[in-house]
Amino acid sequence: MRTSRVPRALAAAVLLLSAAAWAAPFAAQADKPVSVQVLHITDGDTLWVKPLPAGRRTKVRIEGIDAPELCQAGGPAAQAALRRWAEQGPLRITVTGRDQHGRVLARLHSGPSDVGEAMVREGQAWSYRFGDDPGPYAPQEQLARQGKKGLHAQPGAMHPRDFRRRHGSCEAAHRP
């Protein structure tokens, strides 16, 4: 029996159009800071925002960091740290792209502070590694390790990537 490729092509087109519509609030502002209102802090490196003065609710992953999973040791502290940064004043994001899961990637700033850099410096997140690249905040991570700050105060703190490989995602663990 021969199957048609049209349904697959149609499904792929719908998926691409949905992804484009999802990113639309920030498409015109790529590489430009956009003031946002924080709607929800998911964990230490992901939040939901809405562009100001008006715009569509969008999930954003902070580029350059990897915070502990919410169900992992240090996860609630990382989420609380990001919440404190969000409460300190007006936030701006600069969209830099998308991750492998389709989420908007962005640099997050509170006043003059780079929130991703601060999260790593405080020991609430790791500099995001890819292959042999230690990530953009490797010097801040090294200082946090030396000072045993945040998650580095715990012996054997597990990188989130390793935690997910061993235990799965927090969402998977809490599904009915």
Catalytic residues: 61, 69, 103
What is the end-to-end Cα distance of the chain in Å, rounded? 38
How far apart CA 36 and CA 158 sit, in angstroms, is 32
How far apart CA 37 and CA 176 sit, in angstroms, is 32
How far apart CA 121 and CA 140 sit, in angstroms, is 5
